[in-house]
């Protein structure tokens, strides 16, 4: 039984609990609500003979288990113990993220592709308020959000996706995927005190409930952005990870366990690239698209052939170039019908479905990796800072010259960041050129983990392991550690110094998002007056000529007036009044530097 003091420490002022439940499910009795009543998982993925890895079918998920540590590693490493894991996930399968996706002709008019109905709903609890001598009270009811208030297409009153789904919301398939991720993490890192069937080197999350609850804020950090699909994906994963223990605590205390969720305003968040909050990202994108490498790709015969096929056979427009992948995957992964022109996916890359997908992928990855992944490093620098706040206190101290604010933080054992494909790809790309290629994309429910291991017996190869800590980097069950620069080939664990050398220089909250002037262009503030503008050039020429004429006329009038005033007393020679030296510029003198692009020092 948990101490009451510990239970009370889990209660926070505001509770917003999201359960993924079928609309017919109810919460009764002395246990947590049961899992939703799904359509059978075998009811999904039936239309097509092959599905891309992107879809994360049950077969794909089964192959993503976290492998055990090597027993006879090379280079040699002594005894270790796992002290921290950061998991970064992509949300599970979802609806289209926008109703403005430009898919093939007739996509949004077709009942099978343009109407999205969902039975997966969100339940909320009212806030718990305290004040004065009042005690906290558990919520007495739940509120179910149903997106069914606008179902009148005959009157042009519909939701964005023409049904009961939100844009970009989690689907049943995504719910199932995150349940599987929770089981994968529990199997890899969970253990019970007093039981030794689990590899001692991988014992991280104590599920025995003897000393603490594993979801307490000292042991768990849960972070997501404010999208329904990321919030629910993280919640479903944690529910799966701690399912048995959550029920035990509820039955013991008759109170719902509370897990803090750290979140921010969506428009300001940094869980993926945010060019609204960091304008320089847009400039890097523009520079990347103008680069020779990108131009070679975009103008290649292959790219031109793909675009002709899009326009001619699918009746897509140039606006579709940022929607291709989403249109393809939202359709095939939910067993909706593809047009005959791209209904040819066979598991290879030699078909129009794969060719269109690969083309669209490269329009993003080439920008992300431009100039040594400048975009990825700048965009995800603040997120790397958040991640390293949970790692650096475990492996460094103030004497190492590290950020003292980070060192003072009590680091949790397990941190979960629930984000997007555009969270994980830049994270990996920022670690080096070998970790992400140009033609892959992050599947639904991807699981990336960063394990931190302590070397505890000084038996490791001192030439390879120069510190007392090592890391292991995994992506969907594949060990990527050796792809980080400085790590030995085929290494399972690598010295933490190589990871820190890549991450610490870019892990900062104080990113430089200012937009320096492009030396190939006029000042961004010049606008209409830019010398690159034909209108600006014409106006400037007019002003110069006009200034000369006005100045000359004014001079003539003043001299004539002066001459007439003194004509009776002396004779003035005006012969030189209209003489203009060859070096004269009609009085328009531009001091050096006025048209330089660099800001004034």
Please tell me the distance from the alpha carbon of residue 319 to that of residue 189, in angstroms, as a whole number.
45
Q: What is the DSSP-derived secondary structure letter of residue 261?
A: -
377 burial (CB, 10 Å; 0-12 / 13-18 / 19+) is buried
Residue-by-residue DSSP string for 149-163 = S-EEGGGTEE-TTSS
Structure tokens at 39: 């359509």
Question: Scanning the structure block, which residue is given the tokens 């998991």?
Answer: 87
User: Does residue 11 have a pLDDT over 50?
Assistant: no
Task: Specify whether the CB–CB gap between 359 and 324 falls below 8 A.
Answer: yes
Confidence of residue 490 (pLDDT cuts 50, 70, 90): confident
User: Mean pLDDT across the chain, nearest whole number?
Assistant: 81
Task: Specify whether the CB–CB gap between 478 and 118 falls below 8 A.
Answer: no
Please tell me the distance from the alpha carbon of residue 359 to that of residue 540, in angstroms, as a whole number.
44
Q: Give which of 19, 56, 23, 29 is closest to 41, Cα–Cα.
A: 56
Confidence of residue 134 (pLDDT cuts 50, 70, 90): low
Specify the 3-state DSSP secondary structure of 106: coil
Instruction: For the beta carbon of residue 202, count every other beta carbon within 10 angstroms.
Output: 20
Q: Give which of 411, 412, 393, 390 is closest to 403, Cα–Cα.
A: 393
H helices within 202-334, ranges in order?
228-241, 243-253, 280-290, 292-298, 301-313, 324-332
Residue 15's pLDDT is 32
Residue-by-residue DSSP string for 273-297 = --TTT-THHHHHHHHHHHSHHHHHH
Neighbour-count burial for 176-199, b at 16+ CB within 10 Å, e otherwise: bbbbbbbbbbbebbbbeeeeeeee
Residue range 113-124, pLDDT digits in tens: 999 999 888 888
For residues 480-491, average pLDDT: 94
Residue 124's pLDDT is 84
Residue range 183-237, pLDDT digits in tens: 999 999 999 988 878 899 999 999 999 989 999 999 999 999 999 999 999 999 9
Residue range 547-576, pLDDT digits in tens: 656 555 555 555 454 444 434 433 333 333
Please tell me the distance from the alpha carbon of residue 379 to that of residue 562, in angstroms, as a whole number.
68
Neighbour-count burial for 417-454, b at 16+ CB within 10 Å, e otherwise: bbbbbbbbbbbbbbbbeebbeeeebbbbbbbbbbbbbb
The least confident of 33-47, 61-75, 191-205, 387-401 is: 33-47
Higher pLDDT residue, 423 or 536? 423
Residue range 65-95, pLDDT digits in tens: 999 999 888 888 989 999 999 999 999 999 9
Q: What are the CA-CA distances from residue 153 to residues 46, 148, 158, 476 (Å)?
A: 30, 12, 6, 42
User: Does residue 39 have a pLDDT over 60?
Assistant: no
Residue 457's pLDDT is 87
497 burial (CB, 10 Å; 0-12 / 13-18 / 19+) is middle
Phi, psi of 578 (to 5 degrees): -105, 10
Helices 228-241 and 243-253, interaxial angle, to 10°?
A: 80
Structure tokens at 207: 């599920």
User: Does residue 536 have a pLDDT over 60?
Assistant: no
Instruction: For the beta carbon of residue 571, count every other beta carbon within 10 angstroms.
Output: 7
Task: Specify whether the CB–CB gap between 441 and 325 falls below 8 A.
Answer: yes
Structure tokens at 549: 């004429």
For residues 30-44, average pLDDT: 56
Please tell me the distance from the alpha carbon of residue 170 to that of residue 173, in angstroms, as a whole number.
8
How many residues does the structure list for the chain? 601
- E strand or H helix at 85: strand 80-90
Residue range 282-340, pLDDT digits in tens: 999 999 999 999 999 999 999 999 999 999 999 988 777 778 999 999 999 999 999 99
User: Does residue 365 have a pLDDT over 90?
Assistant: yes
Please tell me the distance from the alpha carbon of residue 408 to that of residue 389, in angstroms, as a whole number.
10
Residue 321's pLDDT is 75
Q: Give which of 188, 257, 182 is closest to 12, Cα–Cα.
A: 257
Residue 108's pLDDT is 93
User: Does residue 534 have a pLDDT over 60?
Assistant: no
Higher pLDDT residue, 449 or 99? 449
């Amino acid at each position: 039984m948990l101490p009451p003091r510990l239970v009370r420490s889990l209660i926070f002022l505001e509770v917003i609990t999201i359960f993924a439940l079928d609309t017919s499910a109810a919460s009764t009795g002395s246990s947590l609500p049961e899992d939703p009543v799904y359509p059978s998982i075998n009811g999904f993925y039936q239309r097509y003979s092959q599905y891309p890895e992107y879809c994360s079918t049950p077969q794909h998920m089964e192959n993503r288990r976290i492998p055990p540590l090597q027993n006879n590693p090379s280079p040699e490493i002594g005894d270790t113990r796992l002290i921290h894991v950061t998991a970064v996930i992509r949300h599970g399968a979802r609806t289209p993220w926008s109703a403005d996706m430009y898919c093939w002709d007739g996509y949004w008019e077709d009942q099978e592709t343009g109407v999205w109905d969902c039975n997966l709903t969100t339940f909320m609890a009212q806030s718990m308020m305290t004040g004065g001598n009042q005690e906290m009270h558990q919520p007495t009811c739940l509120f179910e959000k149903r997106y069914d208030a606008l179902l009148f297409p005959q009157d042009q009153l519909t939701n964005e996706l023409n049904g009961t789904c939100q844009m970009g919301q989690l689907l049943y398939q995504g719910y199932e995927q995150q349940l599987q991720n929770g089981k994968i993490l529990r199997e890899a890192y969970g253990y019970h005190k007093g039981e030794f069937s689990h590899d001692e080197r991988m014992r991280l999350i104590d599920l025995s409930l003897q000393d603490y609850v594993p979801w307490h804020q000292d042991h768990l950090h849960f972070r997501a952005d404010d999208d329904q699909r990321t919030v629910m994906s993280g919640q479903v994963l944690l529910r799966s990870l701690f399912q048995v223990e959550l029920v035990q605590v509820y039955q013991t205390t008759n109170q719902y366990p509370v897990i803090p969720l750290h979140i921010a305003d969506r428009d300001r968040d940094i869980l993926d690239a945010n060019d609204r909050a960091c304008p320089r990202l847009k400039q890097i994108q523009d520079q990347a698209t103008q680069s020779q490498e990108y131009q070679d790709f975009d103008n290649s015969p292959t790219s031109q052939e793909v675009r002709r096929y899009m326009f001619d056979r699918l009746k897509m427009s140039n606006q579709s170039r940022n929607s291709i992948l989403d249109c393809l995957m939202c359709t095939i992964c939910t067993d909706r019908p593809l047009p005959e022109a791209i209904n040819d996916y066979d598991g290879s890359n030699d078909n129009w479905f794969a060719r269109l997908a690969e083309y669209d992928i490269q329009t993003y990855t080439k920008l992300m990796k431009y100039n040594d992944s400048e975009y990825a490093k700048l965009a995800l620098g603040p997120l790397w800072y958040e991640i390293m706040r949970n790692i650096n206190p475990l492996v460094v101290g103030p004497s190492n010259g590290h950020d003292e604010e980070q060192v003072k933080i009590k680091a949790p054992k397990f941190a979960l960041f629930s984000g997007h494909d555009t969270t994980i790809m830049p994270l990996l790309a920022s670690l080096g050129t070998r970790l992400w290629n140009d033609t892959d994309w992050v599947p639904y429910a991807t699981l990336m983990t960063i394990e931190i291991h302590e070397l505890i017996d000084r038996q490791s190869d001192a030439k390879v392991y120069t510190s007392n800590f090592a890391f292991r980097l995994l992506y969907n069950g594949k060990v990527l550690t050796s792809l980080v620069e400085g790590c030995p080939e085929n290494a399972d664990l690598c010295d933490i110094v190589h990871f820190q050398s890549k991450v610490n220089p870019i892990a900062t909250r104080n990113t430089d998002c200012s937009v320096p002037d492009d030396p190939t262009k006029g000042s961004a503030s010049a606008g209409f007056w830019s010398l690159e503008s034909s209108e600006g050039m014409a106006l400037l020429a007019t002003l110069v000529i006009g200034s000369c004429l006005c100045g000359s006329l004014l001079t003539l009038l003043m001299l004539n007036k002066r001459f007439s005033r003194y004509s009776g007393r002396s004779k003035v020679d005006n012969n030189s009044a209209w003489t203009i030296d060859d070096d004269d510029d009609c009085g328009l003198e531009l001091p050096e530097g006025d048209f330089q692009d660099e800001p004034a020092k």
